[in-house]
Structure 1
């Protein structure tokens, strides 16, 4: 289960809306081993595409080094889908290289399904992706980690 604060959810959604119609992407870092997302890092979609995302390699190197220096890890890796459901594509699955991370997808498409978690008009889902296997997990939105 992913437990995440409301302010971080709001920031992911705001980023997805701001970059629409292109996919948005980023990371939420947290203390290594904690499974607690705390530090929001919006990243640049180097592809600038409505159907694909890729972290800018120079920016990614900088962010990963920063996490190492701060004894952090990527707790959440997120991106948006602009016209499809919030489910990992084959490409998303093949790029999932952080086994401990929660892979959050938000969909900014207009025909949202009502049986999914919808936050402020955006479908918001989380997955674990390990060795190519996708497992959806519950998302618990909290006001704080207190």
Structure 2
């Protein structure tokens, strides 16, 4: 189960809506081993595409080094789908390389409704998980 603060969900959704019709992407870092997302990092979609996303390699290197320096890891890796449901595509699955991360997808296909879902993706196997949105961590 992914437990995440409402303020972080709001940031992900705002980023997805702002970048629409292109896919948005980013990470939420947290203390290594904590499984608690705390530090939001919006990233640039190097593809600038409505159907595909890719982290810019230099930006990703910088962000991952910063996480290492802060003893953090990517707790959430997120991106949006602009015309389809919030479910990982074959490409998303093939690029999933962080077995401990929660892969969050937000669909912006309906401007009136938020579709926010989370998955674990390990060795090509996708498992949807419950999302618990909280006002703050206890």
Distance 1:121 1:11 in 2: 16
Uncovered stretches (5+) of structure 1, i.e. residues with no partner: 112-119
CA RMSD of aligned residues (A): 1.0
Deviation readout 1:114-145 (Å, 9 max, x if unpaired) = xxxxxx72100000000000000000000000
Question: 1:73 aligns to what?
Answer: 73
Question: 1:2 aligns to what?
Answer: 2
118, 127, 130: which is aligned to 1:135?
Answer: 127
Uncovered stretches (5+) of structure 2, i.e. residues with no partner: none
Distance 1:30 1:78 in 2: 14
TM-score by length of 2: 0.98
- Secondary structure of 1:87's match? coil
Distance 1:110 1:128 in 2: 24
